[in-house]
């Protein structure tokens, strides 16, 4: 979501005549886009902002602004803590940027809703805000009530992205599959996206388990353009913890979605988010998270120690787990998940896969990096014809760590879309 916002901000700057500086030392404007979801994200942003202070002595005209959720969460107090900042701007006030930076008082020109993140793939936000109020989460406070974007504007944006060469579309929202607009469901929107010429792969982040309707599941199993991968945050494997978190689903309901997807395609990629050490989480409840990992056989996971966020209901819970215990539980889920990730990767060996080439490897310029439909990273020896955004048929023949190694198929009809 933040990458998407940064791209939008870059588009606003460029529309006002600015161009990328590539190095902070060369910049006249530095905008730091921040995240508040965990304390660590805010702390590392603050450390990065302090690092920028010295650039002001070299370039007196340099303007530094802090944007994103931390600007909303900490507000004016940021200006006191970081007195060298020129301004802060929360996400709901980005339209003021031209006035602040370029003294433009006339209404901002129509900005493209999304700037492409690269040549072949585009993030398209279809929902802003969130109405869920999970007990630990700051997002609803900093991003506001949920709003869904009008389908015609979404489809128009995707059409122009495909004309510019994009073939992979990633729909974004905090509960993206809860999308609805005047009777149009998320599944119906997906169908319309899939019918656009030039769209080859569709992904969406983050869906919420309560919005897996039978209509959506049926579409995921029949529409070939929808990639066989989902990032479906589970947070915990314990029903009592899920209840305290106010997640509104049970472990069984979560697992039934995973089971439906895997019985349709055993290699369906399922990744998740896990929080360890939620207030009051007992060893038994934590073990239920470990057993969820075993049962769901996730292809990968983002795993976090619980971080209390001021103002959220769970921040006032008394039964806190010590930092040491949280760290130890986090390490236990990481260790278990790593072994499962490896096992899931091994299932790919010997398979014929169509990968989307993303970029030349930074470590080794004779190799390219690509992604399978089920969202696994693949390394493949470079060929002169390879280009960003090209689909290449390959055979998975090895593993380096968790990363798949491939060779091009002899009957390769790779093409640029």
Name the residues that contact ligand SF4, by CB under 6 A. 130, 132-134, 137, 139-140, 174-175, 208
Stretch of residues binding ligand SAH (CB under 6 A), selected from 75-83, 221-229, 299-307, 405-413 = 299-307
Place of tokens 């929107």: 189
Under the binding rule (CB under 6 A), the answer on residue 304 touching ligand SAH is: yes
Partner from ligand SF4, ligand SAH, none binding residue 307, C-beta < 5-8 Å depending on class: ligand SAH
Residue pair 322/314 in contact (Cβ under 8 Å)? The answer is no
Comparing CB distances to ligand SAH, the nearer of 41 and 360 is 41
Residue pair 326/276 in contact (Cβ under 8 Å)? The answer is yes
Comparing CB distances to ligand SF4, the nearer of 134 and 242 is 134
Report the residue from 120, 306, 368, 386 that binds ligand SAH according to the rule CB under 6 A: 306
Q: Around 215, how many Cα atoms within 13 Å sit in the side-chain half-sphere?
A: 11
Comparing CB distances to ligand SF4, the nearer of 69 and 270 is 69
Question: Min. distance of Cβ 235 from ligand SF4 in angstroms?
Answer: 8
Comparing CB distances to ligand SAH, the nearer of 234 and 380 is 234
Partner from ligand SAH, ligand SF4, none binding residue 90, C-beta < 5-8 Å depending on class: none
Residue pair 374/351 in contact (Cβ under 8 Å)? The answer is no
Partner from ligand SF4, ligand SAH, none binding residue 68, C-beta < 5-8 Å depending on class: none
DSSP 223-270: -TTB-SEEE---B-S-HHHHHHHT----HHHHHHHHHHHHHH-TT-EE
Comparing CB distances to ligand SAH, the nearer of 275 and 333 is 275
Under the binding rule (CB under 6 A), the answer on residue 244 touching ligand SAH is: no
Place of tokens 């073990």: 287
DSSP 327-338: HHHHHHHHHHHH
Partner from ligand SF4, ligand SAH, none binding residue 309, C-beta < 5-8 Å depending on class: ligand SAH
Under the binding rule (CB under 6 A), the answer on residue 261 touching ligand SAH is: no
How far apart CA 31 and CA 61 sit, in angstroms, is 14
Comparing CB distances to ligand SAH, the nearer of 136 and 286 is 136
Sign, Cα dihedral of 275, 280, 284, 288: negative
Stretch of residues binding ligand SAH (CB under 6 A), selected from 65-73, 90-98, 300-308, 354-362 = 300-308
Stretch of residues binding ligand SAH (CB under 6 A), selected from 47-55, 179-187, 212-220, 305-313 = 305-313
Partner from ligand SAH, ligand SF4, none binding residue 123, C-beta < 5-8 Å depending on class: none
Residues 31-70 that bind ligand SAH (CB under 6 A): 37-38
Angle between helices 251-264 and 214-222 (to 10 degrees): 30
Partner from ligand SAH, ligand SF4, none binding residue 278, C-beta < 5-8 Å depending on class: none
Binding track, positions 121-160, relative to ligand SAH; x by CB under 6 A: ---------------xx-x---------------------
| Sheet-wide strand order for 63-68 | 29-34, 63-68, 87-89
Comparing CB distances to ligand SF4, the nearer of 121 and 206 is 206
Question: Min. distance of Cβ 139 from ligand SAH in angstroms?
Answer: 6
Partner from ligand SF4, ligand SAH, none binding residue 238, C-beta < 5-8 Å depending on class: none
Report the residue from 36, 127, 128, 174 that binds ligand SAH according to the rule CB under 6 A: 174
Question: Min. distance of Cβ 133 from ligand SF4 in angstroms?
Answer: 6
34-50 burial, b at 16+ Cβ within 10 Å, e below that, comes to bbbbbeebbeebbeebe
Residues in Cβ contact with 225 at an 8 Å cutoff, skipping those fewer than 6 apart: 194, 199, 200, 201, 202
Report the residue from 33, 121, 235, 372 that binds ligand SAH according to the rule CB under 6 A: 235
Under the binding rule (CB under 6 A), the answer on residue 404 touching ligand SAH is: no
The residue among 324, 265, 274, 322 whose CA lies nearest residue 294 is 274
Place of tokens 């995707």: 158
Partner from ligand SAH, ligand SF4, none binding residue 133, C-beta < 5-8 Å depending on class: ligand SF4
Residue pair 231/271 in contact (Cβ under 8 Å)? The answer is yes
DSSP E strands, 111-178? 121-125, 127-128, 147-148, 168-172
Binding site for ligand SAH (CB under 6 A): 37-38, 136-137, 139, 174, 206, 208, 233, 235, 273, 275, 304, 306-307, 309
């Amino acid at each position: 979501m933040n990458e998407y916002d940064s791209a939008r901000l870059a588009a606003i700057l460029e529309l006002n005549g600015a161009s990328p500086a590539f190095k902070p030392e060369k910049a006249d404007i530095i905008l730091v886009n921040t995240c508040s979801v965990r304390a660590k994200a805010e702390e590392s942003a603050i450390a990065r902002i302090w690092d920028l202070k010295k650039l002001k002595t070299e370039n007196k005209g340099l303007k530094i602004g802090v944007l994103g959720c931390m600007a909303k969460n900490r507000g004016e107090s940021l200006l006191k803590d970081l007195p060298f900042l020129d301004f802060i701007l929360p996400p709901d006030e980005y339209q003021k940027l031209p006035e602040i930076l370029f003294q433009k008082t006339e209404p901002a020109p129509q900005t493209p809703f999304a700037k492409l993140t690269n040549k072949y793939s585009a993030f398209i936000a279809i929902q802003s805000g969130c109405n869920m109020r999970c007990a630990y989460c700051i997002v609803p406070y900093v991003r506001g009530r949920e709003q869904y974007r009008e389908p015609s504007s979404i489809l128009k944006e995707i059409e122009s992205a495909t004309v510019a060469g994009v073939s992979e579309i990633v729909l974004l929202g905090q509960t993206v599959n809860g999308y609805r607009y005047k009777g149009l469901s998320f599944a119906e929107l997906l169908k319309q996206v899939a019918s656009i010429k030039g769209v080859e792969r569709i992904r969406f982040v983050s869906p919420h388990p309560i919005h897996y309707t039978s209509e959506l599941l049926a579409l995921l199993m029949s529409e070939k353009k929808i990639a066989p991968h989902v990032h479906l945050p589970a947070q915990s494997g314990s029903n009592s913890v899920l209840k305290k978190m106010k997640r509104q689903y049970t472990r069984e309901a979560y697992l039934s979605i995973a089971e439906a997807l895997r019985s349709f395609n055993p290699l369906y990629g399922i990744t998740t988010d896990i929080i360890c050490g939620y207030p009051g989480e007992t060893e038994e409840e934590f073990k239920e998270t470990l057993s969820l990992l075993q049962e769901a056989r996730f292809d990968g996971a983002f795993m976090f120690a619980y971080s209390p966020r001021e103002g959220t209901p769970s921040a006032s819970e008394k039964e806190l787990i010590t930092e040491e215990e949280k760290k130890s539980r986090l390490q236990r889920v990481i260790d278990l998940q790593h072994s499962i990730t490896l096992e899931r990767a091994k299932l790919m060996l010997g398979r014929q896969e169509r990968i989307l080439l993303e970029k030349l490897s930074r470590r080794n310029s004779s190799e390219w990096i690509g992604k399978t439909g089920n969202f696994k990273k693949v390394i493949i020896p470079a060929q002169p014809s390879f280009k960003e955004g090209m689909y290449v048929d390959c055979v998975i023949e090895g593993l380096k760590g968790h990363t798949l190694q491939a060779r091009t198929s002899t009957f390769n009809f790779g093409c640029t879309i």
